[in-house]
Amino acid sequence: MATATVARGAETEVLSPASEEEAIAAFGDGAGLTILAGGTIVVPEMTYGYLKPERVLMLGNAGLTGIARDGSRTTIGAMTSVQDLVELAAPLGRCAANVADREIRAQATVGGNLCAPVGRDAPRGDLQAAFLVLDAQVRSAGAGGERTDAVEDFLADKDGRLVLDISFEEPAAGGFARLDRPHTHDYSALTVCIARSGDGTTRIAVAGVDGPAVRLPSAEAKADDPAAAGKAALADVSFADDALASAWYRERTLPVLIRRALGDLQEDA
């Protein structure tokens, strides 16, 4: 007989589609549905009582896992683990390697990270910065059918969308820098990603701002001068205080991270 129970979600409907088609059909327009991908974000929310879903869509069996290459284009299934990205080129590989620890990375998914809502006490969704600078395309299903959006547009309007995969062109060079606290697997207070594409365009993005990750066009315009780029970046961001760091501290560290990541870029080329 069970003892002190922590009975959870006895009334919640659990959907477990066995293919991409079934997942899309089950998702519909996403209304009233909570997606459970890796579970690293959703499960603690349920455990602590912040989230009481009525219907949960579990994607573990929907065949959305895998990394495919077609020439210079890489396509990553939404349910691919963050750990599986670690060997990829900078900035994505390094950004993925910096997420949490290997047990969490093995369970967390690319789709979950991309769609992570802003954290209660610490930033989430570091990979958003990497995908922004890779000019990635997000293929999703939902109301109105399947769509492919630039990741920037997707992040601005992701409600009611089921991410299927993310694709991007291999960058010519990548750079990465982050502000961690000096122990193990804490969330990163700031994550800076940089990519230079084959045509020479340099993109710079940061995660850990007040909202989803953003591009830093003012810094991009000065990418040849790391110190100037760092200073210019502050015009493109707004920071909030959270449990990891104050806005004050982030303002002072962002220029340093940009300088370092640009330095990375030179070496990676």
Residues that bind other proteins (CB under 8 A): 1-10, 12, 14, 16, 36, 38-40, 43-44, 46-49, 56, 58, 60, 100-104, 106-107, 184-185
Q: Hey, which residues does 167 pair with through a beta bridge? A: 75, 137
Q: Quote the least distance from Cβ 262 to other proteins, whole Å.
A: 27
C-beta of 56 vs 90, nearer to other proteins: 56
C-beta of 14 vs 31, nearer to other proteins: 14
Q: Quote the least distance from Cβ 45 to other proteins, whole Å.
A: 9
Q: What are phi and psi of 251, to 5 degrees?
A: -60, -35
Coil, helix or strand at residue 152: helix
- The answer to whether 13 and 54 have CB atoms below 8 angstroms apart is yes
C-beta of 73 vs 185, nearer to other proteins: 185
Best CA proximity match to 134, nearest among 104, 175, 105:
175
Q: Quote the least distance from Cβ 2 to other proteins, whole Å.
A: 5
Q: Quote the least distance from Cβ 62 to other proteins, whole Å.
A: 12
Alpha-carbon gap, residue 16 to 64, rounded angstroms: 13
Alpha-carbon gap, residue 150 to 82, rounded angstroms: 21
C-beta of 79 vs 204, nearer to other proteins: 79
